[in-house]
Chains A and B, each alone.
Chain A
Amino acid sequence: MLHTFVAYVEDLPGVLTRVASLFRRLNINISSLTVGRSERPGLSRLTLVCEASSEAGHRIRASLFKLENVVDVDDIAQAPSVTRELALIKVAATGQNRSRIFELAEVFRARIVDLTSESLMIELTGVESKIEGLIEVLREDEGRILEICRSGKMTMRRGHHVSSVLKAMGAAEGETEEKADTASEDSVASGQA
């Protein structure tokens, strides 16, 4: 089955290697990986999608947690969530066929973000099938697509959901940082007892 993990990792050199190495070791292919800044300073948020057996989810999550630089891991599994991808698509377009592409873009609620006499660039966000759909219709005219740049998936749970780990770390905002420190000390103390 397809597994989606959302992890908070320290923003340090080599951390991505450690995460990737875990999947390499398990001989699991990472089909999609998106990393960027999170709401917390010093922590990156990554969304990782991979194909693995249904029982593998527990072990992958537990193993990710064992990495020193990994702070939190959520196994999205079947939880209600929003997933998006971003695509930039450059297509060959001159005056004659431009308007047809504009129409397509409108149907897909895509935006034209660059326009020259020979080409234009389309920006599209959405679920994977929507992006595949636009690419498919653009491909119907051979040689039109010049470049495609696609992000991996970004996933966020729906509703109010804060993991116990992040809760223990306190709020993301800077002014409550002191409180956050105390909270983490507390959780440590109880863990060692």
Chain B
Amino acid sequence: MGTNANTQSSNAHLTTPTRLTGSEILWATLVGEGVTDVFGYPGGAILPAYDALRKFPIRHVLVRHEQGAAHMADGYARASGKVGVAVATSGPGATNLITGIATAMLDSIPIVCITGNVSSKVLGTDAFQEVDITGITLPVTKHNFLVTKTEEVAGVLRQAFQIARSGRPGPVLVDITKDAQQGSAIFDFAAAKPRPYRPHPMLRVEASGLDQAAELIRNAKRPVILAGHGVIESCAMEQVRALAERAQIPVGLTLLGLGGFPASHPLSLGMMGMHGEAWVNHAIQEADLLIACGMRFDDRVTGTPSSYAPKAKKIHIEVDPAEINKNIKVDVALVGDLAEVLEQLLPRISGRNGSDWLRTIEGMKGAVAVRDIKNLPDLGHLYAAHVMHDLWRATGGNAIVVTDVGQHQMWEAQYFHHDQPRTLVTSGGLGTMGFALPAAIGAKIACPDKEVWVIAGDGGFQMTASELATIVQEKIKINIAIINNGYLGMVRQWQEFFYERNYEATPLVSPDFVKLADAHGIAGRAVRTRAEVAAAVEEARSAPGAFLLNFMVEKEDSVYPMIPAGSALHEMIRRPGRDPLEERADDR
């Protein structure tokens, strides 16, 4: 059967009510919702659905572990803004999704996970591969559904897509029993439309609040905009930029906000928080006004809440009313979609001279730059920061970079500058090691024309390295940079700073990643000095297939600056004053 014929027949399903099996309804509904790619792993309870899959114009990516399926759906959603879809069977297939679902939940990513379950007649009897997945995923989904009737499949799936993408987005799980897949019902896509979207009743943007915010901005001497993930989710890049430029306010970014405001913009301060730039955190502590845009004052951003930005009035523009005053008490709350709120606020903002404050911050930057490893020679060593910087230069900053979790993630955030939204894909809230490789596969399938780089540590990469086979089977061109320091680096750094260098369980033996890639049919190369970096990156970029670079970096380097957990934002651990690149006794 040709794909075109399939497309026509499935489109016919969408316009004319037809009797279909539950499995066919499942895929037809996905087609109707605009889904073109799904990530999954078959098994007994979802087999009826897989049996019907070939009739529909949907690309199915076979993963090697269901956690990978959830992360791929997540990466797909983050890179494209569309809803990602993961499919798994009942029992262990479903439970393997959970880390991926929780990752999406913590970062408000719209994904729909579809699981099969045992027949409705044996639900609750501990049947083979039966698990209460709606019960298990209740706290890590925005909502979930159990479907036991074929007639409900279309309506529930459409509702799931609406919930996933509306308001503050999030993951939705739909658990469909085997008999609901096997039964038949009239499929009427239009009639199965979800009930009207219900905005959160506590959304509130009043003229008085807007006036108050405008007044605070007008009178502020030392204002800072804090731009978060909401800037990207709400597509408010233009509005944030307009606010910053019109009122000459510098912009600090959260990890997930990177790309929401161009890093190359003169008003961009870079990342704030635990590993944020020193001048951003100092600016926040000195500020007399914070304008928080689509961010939630996460503990990694605030340090100790009681000592956070003590001199600042705070304006919070946020789509989720439950975030208001949760971590930090604010003076003005504008609760609504960020882009819409800023559209209402902007006409109230007039030009403002911010040059004194901007000059003060520039001064802070200058003092810091001399300690920045970026500006120091490598003396024959390979520093991860240098790798990030060179990678950024080589790609022109145009690639989608998918990072794992740990030191390399922070170095990427510090030294790879993102000018465009959706060019950094990373697990922020949950901090999920093993995220990068599968999420990058999802990102590449969502954006096949974009250059995609995985940046992962040697620890996190091994958590989901089995997805290398998925890359080969799907013939995907992804470049992989492993930042290999032989340690679980971020944990080692904590042990160095806070546990008297007791490196318990952090030294890490890894396979030869180049050989591992080779075993999968993926080319690769090890890189040991900075001089080799540029050529290796070019070799990877120009290789026709996926390519792996194993960067053998400095073993015991740390991410600076660092705010110890539970400290105030200005109490940073700085890169040691002595030449950080001089040989250390324990260096081998």
Chain A residues within CB distance 8 Å of chain B: 14, 17-18, 21, 25, 55, 58-59, 61-63, 65-68, 72, 164-165, 184-185, 187-188, 191-192
The 8 Å CB contact of A25, one of B134, B139, B163, B198, is B139
Which chain B residues (132-150) contact chain A, with CB distance < 8 Å?
A: 134-135, 138-139, 142-143, 146
Q: Do residues B200 and A62 form an inter-chain contact, with CB atoms below 8 A? A: yes
Closest chain A residue, CB of each to CB of B329 = A55
Q: Which residues of A contact B321 (CB under 8 A)?
A: 58, 62, 65
Q: Which residues of A contact B134 (CB under 8 A)?
A: 14
How many interface residues does chain B have, given as a range?
20 to 34
Q: Do residues A68 and B163 form an inter-chain contact, with CB atoms below 8 A? A: yes
Q: Do residues B322 and A192 form an inter-chain contact, with CB atoms below 8 A? A: no
The 8 Å CB contact of A63, one of B146, B199, B203, B322, is B322
CA separation between A58 and B326, bound complex, in Å? 9
Q: A14-B134, A17-B138, A21-B138 are in contact. Are A66 and B322 (CB under 8 A)?
A: yes
Q: Do residues B197 and A188 form an inter-chain contact, with CB atoms below 8 A? A: yes
Q: Which residues of A contact B325 (CB under 8 A)?
A: 55, 58-59
CA separation between A164 and B198, bound complex, in Å? 13
B-side interface mostly: loop
Which chain B residues (329-382) contact chain A, with CB distance < 8 Å?
A: none
Q: Which residues of B contact A18 (CB under 8 A)?
A: 138
CA separation between A55 and B322, bound complex, in Å? 12
Q: Do residues A191 and B199 form an inter-chain contact, with CB atoms below 8 A? A: yes
Q: Do residues B199 and A192 form an inter-chain contact, with CB atoms below 8 A? A: yes
The 8 Å CB contact of A62, one of B142, B196, B324, is B324
Q: Which residues of B contact A67 (CB under 8 A)?
A: 143
Q: Does B472 contact A (CB under 8 A)?
A: no
Q: Do residues B324 and A191 form an inter-chain contact, with CB atoms below 8 A? A: no
Closest chain A residue, CB of each to CB of B321 = A62
Closest chain B residue, CB of each to CB of A193 = B340
Chain B residues within CB distance 8 Å of chain A: 134-135, 138-139, 142-143, 146, 163, 196-203, 320-322, 324-326
Q: Which residues of A contact B163 (CB under 8 A)?
A: 68
Closest chain A residue, CB of each to CB of B166 = A192
Q: Which residues of A contact B202 (CB under 8 A)?
A: 61-62, 65
Separation in Å of the A168 CB from the closest CB of chain B? Answer: 9
Closest chain A residue, CB of each to CB of B203 = A191
Q: Do residues B199 and A188 form an inter-chain contact, with CB atoms below 8 A? A: yes
Closest 5 CB pairs of A and B: A191-B199, A62-B322, A188-B196, A62-B321, A68-B143
Q: Do residues B138 and A165 form an inter-chain contact, with CB atoms below 8 A? A: no
Q: A188-B199, A191-B197, A192-B199 are in contact. Are A66 and B320 (CB under 8 A)?
A: yes
Separation in Å of the A72 CB from the closest CB of chain B? Answer: 8
A-B pairs with beta carbons under 8 Å apart, 17 shown: A14-B146, A21-B138, A25-B139, A58-B321, A59-B325, A61-B202, A62-B202, A65-B321, A67-B143, A68-B142, A68-B163, A72-B201, A164-B201, A184-B196, A184-B198, A188-B196, A188-B199
Q: Which residues of A contact B326 (CB under 8 A)?
A: 59
The 8 Å CB contact of B198, one of A58, A62, A188, is A188
Closest chain B residue, CB of each to CB of A55 = B325
CA separation between A59 and B200, bound complex, in Å? 13
Q: Which residues of B contact A66 (CB under 8 A)?
A: 142, 200, 320, 322
CA separation between A65 and B203, bound complex, in Å? 11
Closest chain A residue, CB of each to CB of B198 = A188
CA separation between A58 and B200, bound complex, in Å? 13
CA separation between A121 and B528, bound complex, in Å? 85
Closest chain B residue, CB of each to CB of A68 = B143
If A14-B134, A66-B200 are given as contacts, then 8 extra A-B residue pairs at C-beta distance below 8 Å, sorted by A number, are A25-B139, A55-B325, A59-B326, A62-B202, A62-B324, A68-B142, A68-B143, A192-B199
CA separation between A58 and B323, bound complex, in Å? 10
CA separation between A58 and B201, bound complex, in Å? 13
Closest chain B residue, CB of each to CB of A59 = B322
Q: Which residues of B contact A164 (CB under 8 A)?
A: 201
Q: Which residues of A contact B143 (CB under 8 A)?
A: 67-68
Closest chain B residue, CB of each to CB of A71 = B198
Separation in Å of the A100 CB from the closest CB of chain B? Answer: 50
